[in-house]
Amino acid sequence: MRQARRDFMRATALGAGAVLSGGCFGLARSGAARRKGAVEKLRVALVGAGGSGQVNGQAVCEAGAEIVALCDVDEGALLAARERLAGRCPQVKLYKDFRVLLDAERAVDAVFVSTPDHGHMVQAAWALERGCSVYIEPPLVRALGEVRVLQEKAKRSGRVVQLGNQGSAKPEFRRALEILATGVIGEVEEIHAWTNRPVWPQGISRPEGSDPVPVGLDWDLWLGSASPRPFKSKVYHRFNWRGWHDFGTGALGDAGCHLLNLPARALGLAAPVTVEAEDCTERFAETYVKSSRVRYEFAPRGKSPGVLALWYDGGWRPEPEVMPQVVAAFGRVPDAGCLLVGKNGVWFVADDLGLRHYLALRGEERVRDFEKHEACEAAALVLPRVRSQQEEFLDAVRNGARPFSDLRHAVPLTECVLTGCVAQRVSGRLTWNSGKGRFENSEEANRLVEPFCREGWALADGGRRERGLWP
């Protein structure tokens, strides 16, 4: 490890630190817009090198773009990512601080944000103001108040912003949308979506004490704008952050952007008008509940009526009576899925990403694979097919097109998910005003709309801090 560390230090691009000025969202001025010719490679930076960052890096390479920089607060993740990319991107530069990366690499065209939820907003905003397009892993942001800020940053920059709910790019998902658009199940009256997540701790209190910070991890950078706290082994970094209010959005934030993706698109849903956690396990001060049932109401759309949606997590599921055709086919209510209940039939999605679809029309006893159902054969092929969500994003960056999961879709979907996250923390039926970006009937809920920014991130530091990897 010592030899690897010396190699890493020699290979790493170090730079002077960057300063957040003018408030939490008062970032640096935008770089000049860059256009690429048909034969020029896009220059990409990955912020977050492990997990989804690893998947995104592979997809970027397969799409023919060049990864010029990697950023992660964990040295181990950076070294592993550099090793994976050695054959394709031997000159890739390594950074621990995304601000240093974006100050130094001014020719970057696109940034992939694959970090914990609490970093999405500030990392994406910094990239947009540098003139970069941004691909963000779900959810788009951690707090409702960050949604409008990101929208404004994207509008000002003119850059592409895409949500990485990768199921949107799958041919099965797009075929399902084409079929549902024919009205095969009639007007949809109810939606049920459920997941067996969390598979990480939720419904717990903060542990006492602290543990030594692992060598190579910059804990202060990992915390970012969140409230300071001591490092505790296996409590936050590198996976269990999802259950903590300060860092993640719980099971709903993790799985909702995938499981609610199909109904949101197929029905053209705007943000919900009311949301309530009808039932949930014990609430804790700093973590999301272990299990919940959240009720959403969506307003009518044109001639289509309003829609009721129920979300279940933590192993809670709809009753079998809600979906007899699914139970008849699967023998039980599956551990996760999404059910659209229409006047003329039901549509069932049997996985998180929308790859396995089933249909039963009125009078049919069990759902069948949609590709084998005769009612689906006549639907026209109208949506483009792509190799991956990442490649579609890069093509949009290169050609100025609008990707499938841009902010037009990502914003209402994100508001749906995040209003539910607030309802899991605040009792009662909450009325959400999307236009004003606030709840109409709960100041307690409104206090959770705006993100917290700790000192040093919310205000100027009074000078440029050194932000190299090591002294």
Q: What is the pLDDT of residues 195-241, one digit of tens each?
A: 999 999 999 999 999 999 999 999 999 999 999 999 999 999 988 99
More confident: 465 or 105: 105
Which CATH number belongs to the domain containing residue 291 in this structure? Answer: 3.30.360.10
Check which CATH number belongs to the domain holding 46 and give it: 3.40.50.720
Number of domains in the chain: 2
Clarify whether residues 396 and 333 are in a common domain.
Answer: no
300 and 352 together in one domain: yes
Any domain includes 350: yes
Residues 284 and 402 placed together within one structural domain of the fold: no
Q: Is residue 379 part of a domain?
A: yes
**pLDDT value for 35:** 54
Give the model confidence (pLDDT) of 30-75 as tens digits: 333 455 555 589 999 999 999 999 999 999 999 999 999 999 999 9
Asked if 53 and 34 sit in the same domain, the reply is yes
> Could you tell me if 181 and 274 lie in one domain?
yes
Residue 328 has pLDDT above 50, yes or no: yes
Domain presence at residue 209:
no
Residue 1 has pLDDT above 60, yes or no: no
Residues 287, 244 contacting (CB under 8 angstroms): yes
Reported pTM: 0.90
Distance of CA 425 to the CA centre of its chain: 20
Note whether residue 416 is domain-resident: no
Q: Nearest CA to 175 among 389, 373, 379, 387?
A: 379
Parent domain of 177: 170-201+252-385
377 and 257 both lie in a single domain: yes
* 164 lies in the same domain as 264: no
Asked if the model's pLDDT at residue 467 lies above 50, the reply is no
Mean pLDDT for 337-360 is 97
Tell me: do 108 and 176 sit in the same domain. Answer: no
Do 268 and 358 sit in the same domain of this protein?
A: yes
Last residue of one domain, picked from the residues 323, 354, 385:
385
Residue 26 covered by a domain: yes
